[in-house]
Amino acid sequence: MKIAIVDDEKIWRQNAVKVVRQYFDKEEASITLFYSGDLFLEHDTEYEIVVLDIEMSGKDGFETALEYKVSYPDAVIIMLTTHLELSRRGYMVDAFRYVDKTKMQDELQEAFESAKKLLGRNKIVSINVVNVGKIPVALKDIVYIETDRRKVLVYTYDNQYECSDSIGSLEKMLSEEGFFRCHKSYLVNLDAIKKFDHTFVYMANGRKAMVGIKKYPTLKKLYIQRKYEYANF
């Protein structure tokens, strides 16, 4: 995990480093420190997570995040502040979390927990395509999987593949990755759901999947939980 911490006050940089090291104690994580947004942008390096102070001399956190996201749109931006009212401007920069510096220990650890799940959507898995063999697919690109007349079809945003794996084996592989089998014939990506009711799940690619009667309560619970985990403050 590559993490950047950008803050013009040494004490807050040190506090953030302490929390990062505690949280990633048993995982490999590299931490790079910057004392200004300008220096961070000049470094021009891709980081998976950026812990970014809002109020800094030179470019502030919002300006820095906007510029950084142009080159690295998948980066998870966590904003630090002692004035949470400033977070109202967050829609401008697509910030993932706003962390109160005075409550950094708890709030930053929670942000890391959710950020790891969010970044997990970039994970690449292999599916066995009929007459082709194994191909790599990013989890975030899979919309849903369907069984149709003994065929197993994997729908991505751009393609459709006939897969030689069973839907059961795919369910086992993807159940911990934000997918749910809402019907015996459908395995859906919770992140690709636009809306759903007791009968259908309406997917982001314009298609729909059926919902089993007994599956609806669990679908609703998992969907809400997923949204909560990725919601901004």
Interstrand relation of 200-203 and 193-196 (parallel, antiparallel or unpaired): antiparallel
In order of 5, 79, 134, 174, 199, the CA distances from 94 in angstroms are: 18, 10, 35, 27, 33
Q: Categorize the per-residue pLDDT at 90 as very low, low, confident or very high, splitting at 50, 70 and 90.
A: low
Handedness of CA 18, 15, 38, 83 (dihedral sign): positive
Helix (H, G, I), strand (E, B) or coil at 223: helix
Distance CA 157, CA 204 (A): 8
Q: Give the tokens for residue 130.
A: 């009929």
Q: Categorize the per-residue pLDDT at 7 as very low, low, confident or very high, splitting at 50, 70 and 90.
A: very high
pLDDT tens for 39-64 read 999 999 999 999 999 989 899 999 99
pLDDT at 168: 95
Nearest to 188 by CA among 218, 165, 158, 162: 218
Q: Categorize the per-residue pLDDT at 87 as very low, low, confident or very high, splitting at 50, 70 and 90.
A: low
Higher pLDDT, 126 or 228: 126
pLDDT tens for 96-116 read 788 888 888 888 888 888 888
Handedness of CA 117, 118, 121, 123 (dihedral sign): negative
Using the predicted structure, report yes or no on whether residue 232 has a pLDDT greater than 50. Answer: no
* Helices 104-119 and 10-23, axial angle in degrees (round to 10): 60
- Residue type (1 letter), 171: E
Using the predicted structure, report yes or no on whether residue 195 has a pLDDT greater than 50. Answer: yes
pLDDT at 11: 92
Distance CA 55, CA 38 (A): 13
Domains, the chain: 2-121 (3.40.50.2300), 123-230 (2.40.50.1020)
Distance CA 116, CA 204 (A): 23
Alpha carbons within 13 angstroms on the beta-carbon side of residue 70 total 7
Q: Categorize the per-residue pLDDT at 233 as very low, low, confident or very high, splitting at 50, 70 and 90.
A: very low
Average pLDDT for 199-217: 96
Q: Give the tokens for residue 131.
A: 């007459």
Q: What is the pTM of this model?
A: 0.66
Higher pLDDT, 211 or 95: 211
Order of strands, edge to edge, in the sheet holding 151-156? 133-138, 124-129, 160-163, 151-156, 142-148, 186-189, 179-183
Q: Give the tokens for residue 74.
A: 């998948």
| C-alpha 126: how far from chain center | 20
DSSP 198: S
Using the predicted structure, report yes or no on whether residue 89 has a pLDDT greater than 60. Answer: no
Distance CA 130, CA 133 (A): 6
Higher pLDDT, 212 or 27: 212
What is the widest separation between alpha-carbon atoms in the chain?
A: 63
